[in-house]
Structure 1
């Protein structure tokens, strides 16, 4: 009986149409190259039965790696600072180091390969929905993934941690109605991520129940204070009419932009306009007046993502687990009831 010759690295390179050195770097997860090239080499290696392809770099088989990657699109804003703090504290408590990995806005960037090459034990993706190819790369290396507040509904097979966004939006509407608002402005986020849509949908549905027929203008901003200032100014001009205005912004940063637009219009918070944000990051308390907002427990959510990842690494199945944290409306000065002045009596 004649055995089939074992495939060599040179065979893989020839079949994939690349040099031997490129094939080697692709299979080891090293060096910069187009993701398509790397995937083509890996596919060819698998098809030929090349031994190296069965041993992708990643979490060591002994399970001794004590590093988790936290992957975010950006860092150093109030929200991601909270995520980082919560994840780092939880990782340290469980005996892991935390590596901060940026998802670069570059089609050629292959962050899963960077994660795999350093032997990470697992990955937390914050506000990111991975592609099928990215999931396949990490799974082939034995690296588990947990999603933290994913922006879409894909990758249903992965465990995820999120908050009750729709209920939070509903609580904002009920609170504004209870505080006397009669006309409403909603500042949604653009792009329209899953959590932003849920917040707006929850607000509109609750408003329909609490104040049927109330005027409600819906506008959108790019999740920044600067663009929210523009969107709020447009919405205020469209509202017109009499009666207190209630503004709901889908993030605290956008609520800060709404403050500026309200002042630009010669109005004041909360006498003329009541404002509710979402997140309860540190800056919400520093606005003047302090911002009423829907709190999501960001640090606790990040810690839960780390805990779920640690359980997976330890061999305890998490499957399609969804961990959902409840939101809580925190009332502050931006929706306070203002006593009438002497001239108004």
Structure 2
């Protein structure tokens, strides 16, 4: 039986002290990026096993994937978690749920490093430069799921066809007899919100070249969307049919509330299309027509890309795109 590789052997191989090697492998301490990478490479080359108290796994080879979200108490995170968990299990990996806290002392990248995760999926989060350094120094790959902004850092991302979804919403509202049009745009105007707006504008131009639309701003929540839509709904002349595209299902629910407050009937006077197809969409009265983004499939694709990378594949340099699909229901 071959002798167990010691921490001292890793340190000697990397040309550092034992203390430095220990800090590099545990993800602790303020070390130069090159030093940390050299120690990790030596540990892998020698087949170093960590102490059983921290799992007894080869450094950097834990069969774990971290899913990092801003919260885990909503329908979106439920869908993401379900898709990521299924893909991880299929590949023989465990999924770790990590919540990003918007506080200066949140050290989730270092916790990921100490676990030796095979990769990280960031959902609706654009990592800071320091967070990326902490992960890339440990050679932990990152995939962004539905990033809020365009990134120039060369990270792989998984997205849906937001622009095409917005265009489909416009074409559908026009085909269902809307004579006036409005879009409820989320604020801040994240990348995907802008794409949905641009797609709606292009689709409306194609379907009704002479039609104009009003853009309303809301904070991605139902209450804000209600307040934004209420003045418009009260002002629609009798005999007109207003077609409203909300850039999320939650904002669409706010449009429903505004229609009720204004005494407008859905779908007789107001037609509503949302975006997401989260579980609450079909519970509204009438059930919400929406653009389905394949959230579970997107999460699964992100995890699959990471587990493939752990097996030696190269992460794709560009975005992985999954298609949207319009789901007609009672609101139109």
Q: Report what 1:275 is aligned to.
A: 272
Q: Report what 1:100 is aligned to.
A: 97
Deviation at 1:28, TM superposition (A): 3.4
Separation in 2 of the partners of 1:160 and 1:124?
Answer: 9
Query: Residue 182 of structure 2: SS of its match in structure 1?
Result: strand
Separation in 2 of the partners of 1:43 and 1:253?
Answer: 45
Q: CA 1:170 to 1:81, structure 2 compared with 1: closer, same or farther past 3 Å?
A: same
Separation in 2 of the partners of 1:110 and 1:299?
Answer: 27
Separation in 1 of the partners of 2:290 and 2:38?
Answer: 56
Separation in 2 of the partners of 1:292 and 1:126?
Answer: 25
Q: CA 1:319 to 1:52, structure 2 compared with 1: closer, same or farther past 3 Å?
A: closer
Q: Report what 2:290 is aligned to.
A: 293
1:106-142 Cα offsets, whole Å, 9 max, x none, are: 1332221111112211111111111222222111112
Deviation at 1:209, TM superposition (A): 2.1
Greater shift in the superposed pair: 118-127 or 161-170: 118-127
Select 1:91's aligned residue among 66, 88, 113.
88
Separation in 2 of the partners of 1:122 and 1:52?
Answer: 15
Q: Report what 1:122 is aligned to.
A: 119
Deviation at 1:179, TM superposition (A): 0.4
Q: Tell whether 2:255 aligns with 1:254.
A: no
Separation in 2 of the partners of 1:68 and 1:310?
Answer: 8
Q: Report what 2:27 is aligned to.
A: 29
Q: CA 1:238 to 1:214, structure 2 compared with 1: closer, same or farther past 3 Å?
A: farther
Structure 1: runs of 5 or more not aligned: 1-5, 13-23, 31-37, 336-345
Q: Report what 2:240 is aligned to.
A: 243
Q: CA 1:308 to 1:211, structure 2 compared with 1: closer, same or farther past 3 Å?
A: same
Q: Report what 1:223 is aligned to.
A: 220
Query: Residue 68 of structure 1: SS of its match in structure 2?
Result: strand
Q: Report what 1:43 is aligned to.
A: 32
Separation in 2 of the partners of 1:26 and 1:286?
Answer: 51
Query: Residue 331 of structure 2: SS of its match in structure 1?
Result: helix
Greater shift in the superposed pair: 284-293 or 112-121: 112-121
Deviation at 1:187, TM superposition (A): 0.5
Aligned length: 309
Separation in 1 of the partners of 2:292 and 2:105?
Answer: 37
Separation in 2 of the partners of 1:303 and 1:45?
Answer: 33
Q: What is the RMSD computed on CA atoms of the aligned residues?
A: 2.9
Separation in 1 of the partners of 2:126 and 2:254?
Answer: 27
So what's the TM-score if we normalise by structure 2?
Answer: 0.84
Greater shift in the superposed pair: 182-191 or 165-174: 182-191
Separation in 2 of the partners of 1:243 and 1:62?
Answer: 66
Deviation at 1:247, TM superposition (A): 0.6
1:101-180 equivalences in 2 (<5 Å): 101-180=98-177
Q: CA 1:217 to 1:54, structure 2 compared with 1: closer, same or farther past 3 Å?
A: farther
* Contact map agreement 1:167 1:327 (CA 8 A) in 2: yes
Q: CA 1:111 to 1:239, structure 2 compared with 1: closer, same or farther past 3 Å?
A: farther
Query: Residue 334 of structure 1: SS of its match in structure 2?
Result: coil
Q: Tell whether 2:318 aligns with 1:334.
A: no
